[in-house]
Amino acid sequence: MSEKIRLAFCVHSHQPVGNFPAVFRKGSQDCYLPLLRILKDYPQIRMTLHYTGPLLEWFEANEPEFFELVSELVERSQIEIMGGGFYEPILPVIPQVDAISQIAYSRRYCEDKFGVSPTGMWCAERIWDPGVPEKIAGSGVEYTLLDDSHFLSAGLSASDVHGYYITEREGYSLKVFPVDMNLRYLIPFRQPHEVVEYLMEMKRSGVQVVTYGDDGEKFGMWPGTHKWVIQEGWLRRFFDEIIRASEDIEIVPLCRVIDTCPPRGRIYLPTASYQEMMEWSLFAEQGRVYEDLVKQAKEKDEWKELRGFLRGGMWDNFFAKYPESNLMHKKMLKISALVRQYNEPEDALDHLLMSQCNCAYWHGLFGGIYISSLRHAIYEHLLKAEAIVDRQRFSGTPWIVEVTDHDLDGKEEVLVSGKDINCYISPYWGASVFGLEFKPAAYNFSNILMRHPEIYHKDIIDAGAEHDIPETGEPLSIHDIPRVVADGYKDLLVYDLYPKYSFLTHYLEDTPSVETILKMNKIGSADETPIPFELASTVQDQGRLELVFRGRLKDIAIDKTYLFYAENTVAVSHAIHQAKEDSWVVVECNVMSVSEQMPSVDDVVLVENRGSFSARKVTVADTEKGVCLSVESDSPWDICIVPIECISQSEEGFEKTFQGWSIYFSRRGSQPIPEIRSRMEAICQS
């Protein structure tokens, strides 16, 4: 009798830091607990399970049955618990010391709760960099799993991409399993017997070990999967089919393969992720080119041969594609350095590690960076860590001013840090504020996403084509579900020419169009791009800080002054020299309210979500988070208020996402420009 083929089976389950409690609860009820309950009924089925820290902490606080089930399955050696970065960071882009802390945290948690010390590591989003083995050296990790495309890109033929290999960097080694892409699309979307037939075909070709590793949410949370996998019994039928084929197929945890099978050889893998991720990381224009190339290869039946070489970009490119992601990342690096500098207070380190959860830093099929609550969670934990460090950091000085290239764009920024507020200023972008942060509430009012073009926006523009959906009863993979385009979405495909910062200074030679602002959230002028400034002077005296920036546009000179006061107030004033009679100055403030509350104008809450006013004061509150920001002046301005709205995609389809409020303060440039003050304060939470 020929040797069995081993199906090394791994299920990875994750919810991001900052996700809504209702999502955790639904996942527990529809997916995570049902999978464990069914697995308990099949003692012959053994596999590897991975749960990330946010899920484990939610289960610990809300669902004791989870720990009872997992502990029982561990005790009877039915499951292997896999470790990894506890809060699911992208390991290649966080400091090495933090990567080791993330893995150590995961190991300690598993030892404490389940009595096991994991030897495997889930590599978040299968993001691989050749330096990973060296980066995690000494962490106790013996193996990980990556996509088969990594191995194809390294030059292996498809017939060699199975079993596991060893890779190394500077003598630090790591075992790596290739995840079979076909299995990722078969399970659980095709009938169980089709999965078995595929495995038998692999066995006949001489394969001894094939690896499956993918999201646990496919087993009950993705659209249509709870009904298909749990209620209609796909998972039980799958286990039954595997047991019936037990003379030929054995389902095992990954550690079992390492214990009983030698590696197939040594391999050196390029920087990569799964194929879809490498597509999503591309800028929209080239992403569409790549999409067409993949489509052509599939139509010509050349995809199998070409997919190892027809690659997209790399995950790090999200920092270029979304400057907002880059700002979060560079803030994280800054706080990481501060936490280490000030002796690693344990509670500060915890918040730092939570801020490294990857989901808010990128966007693909899921909402990711478009979900303001996920971005807020990143900043919330960064600011909490910073506030803890500040107890040691501020000694006798109310303000710390740093002039540095914070975002690594080749231009210097001015970072003002106080005990209660931070104000990060970009001289290049109109001496505007890209980080207006209130530490007592751990809230970043500048947590705004500008409107970016996306690869899939062409599907909205071209909406109306018919899609043939096979009526098999099987759920479609979320990659294949046709997206419905709601009325009005095409009109929202407007893209920003500059970041949506606050106190952006625009000098216009014509009148700003109120109609264009209210309809498109754009000034609509040929010279709407903010004026570049340079820092001219810094004066700090008795708790008061003054920064003066100087900008020039043709023969017009503008002095822009920031005044910082101890009572959490920042004042901005302008002095314009040789302004033309018919010119206009527009000061644009973009402000986030994570709970999407309507602003108030002169203390009257808006009924409509846009409008024009002659007023002195605009207030943006977030009563759910207990914070508000008032922007006011002693003299009235012409004010326009309009929401920032993006069209993004998620696993449910296309959706409109709120990204904050744009507030435009306009006055004639030939008139004196009154000071604008912003004040942050804590309010009662609702």
Which residues are designated catalytic?
125, 215
Both tokens of 374, joined, read 């996920």
Asked if residues 329 and 357 have their Cβ atoms less than 8 Å apart, the reply is no
Number of helical (H) and strand (E) elements in the chain, helices listed first: 21, 26
Both tokens of 124, joined, read 């978040």
Cβ count within 10 A of residue 7: 23
* 3-state DSSP assignment of residue 362: coil
For residue 455, report the phi and psi dihedrals to the nearest 5 degrees. Answer: -55, -45
Both tokens of 83, joined, read 């470790």
* 3-state DSSP assignment of residue 304: helix
Nearest Cα neighbor of 514 from 640, 407, 418, 405 is 640
What's 226's DSSP letter? I
Asked if residues 269 and 167 have their Cβ atoms less than 8 Å apart, the reply is yes
Type and span of the H or E element at 605: strand 604-605
**What Å distances lie between residue 542 and 492, 545, 566, CA to CA?**
48, 8, 10
How many whole angstroms separate alpha carbon 264 and alpha carbon 260? 13
How many whole angstroms separate alpha carbon 391 and alpha carbon 369? 31
For residue 162, report the phi and psi dihedrals to the nearest 5 degrees. Answer: -165, 180
Both tokens of 22, joined, read 């209702």
How many whole angstroms separate alpha carbon 492 and alpha carbon 615? 28
Amino acid (1-letter code) at residue 377: A
| Residue bearing tokens 């999978």 | 35
Both tokens of 287, joined, read 């992403």
Contacts of 91 (CB under 8 A, 6+ apart): 85, 99, 102, 123, 124, 127, 129, 132, 135, 136
Buried/exposed 228-263: b ≥16 CB within 10 Å, e otherwise: bbbeeebbeebbebbeebeebbbbbbbbbbbeeeeb
How many whole angstroms separate alpha carbon 555 and alpha carbon 578? 8
How many whole angstroms separate alpha carbon 442 and alpha carbon 188? 41
Asked if residues 236 and 229 have their Cβ atoms less than 8 Å apart, the reply is no
Type and span of the H or E element at 383: helix 372-393
* One-letter-per-residue 3-state SS of 426-448: ECCCCCEEEEEEEHHHCEECCCC
For residue 454, report the phi and psi dihedrals to the nearest 5 degrees. Answer: -125, 155
Asked if residues 678 and 629 have their Cβ atoms less than 8 Å apart, the reply is yes
How many whole angstroms separate alpha carbon 488 and alpha carbon 137? 52
For residue 334, report the phi and psi dihedrals to the nearest 5 degrees. Answer: -65, -45
Amino acid (1-letter code) at residue 275: Q
How many whole angstroms separate alpha carbon 142 and alpha carbon 191? 34
Chain centre distance of CA 610: 29
Q: Are strands 533-541 and 676-682 parallel, antiparallel or unpaired?
A: unpaired
Orientation of helix 234-244 relative to helix 33-40, angle to 10°: 30
Alpha-helical runs (H) found in 127-191: 132-135, 148-153, 181-186
